[in-house]
Amino acid sequence: MPERKSATCLGCGKKAEYTECSGWGTVPEDARCRVLPDWLTVTRWRGMGLVDRYDFCSFSCLQKWVEAQVPGIPDTFLDAFGDG
């Protein structure tokens, strides 16, 4: 039996279960490519054989997550553009 897996959107928490395709035989009804259309998967290489995968259901969820990973622009920098 092929392994059941699940993907969770890190932006909104949406969850989807799918069956991993083996590349042989018929494609399962709930194959990842059928269950997760338009999803985005970001791969982060961490070293030999080590990868982190992050799943997102849409570009806006990916953007939200990326913005949360990037440190915010310091207020002092924004102040430089102020009136005073």
Task: Give the three-class secondary structure for 80.
Answer: coil
The nearer residue to Zn ion, 14 or 16, going by C-beta atoms, is 14
Kindly state whether residue 62 participates in binding Zn ion, applying the rule CB under 5 A: no
Among residues 8, 12, 35, 40, the one that binds Zn ion under rule CB under 5 A: 12
Q: Spell out, one character per residue from 21 to 60, where the chain touches Zn ion: x when CB under 5 A holds, - when not.
A: ------------------------------------x---
The nearer residue to Zn ion, 2 or 59, going by C-beta atoms, is 59
What is the C-alpha separation between 6 and 36, in angstroms, rounded? 10
Among residues 11, 18, 39, 55, the one that binds Zn ion under rule CB under 5 A: 11
Among the listed residues 51, 40, 37, 50, the one whose alpha carbon sits nearest the alpha carbon of residue 12: 40
What is the C-alpha separation between 8 and 10, in angstroms, rounded? 6
The stretches of the chain forming alpha helices (DSSP H) are: 32-35, 59-69, 75-79
Binding site for Zn ion (CB under 5 A): 9, 11-12, 14, 57, 61
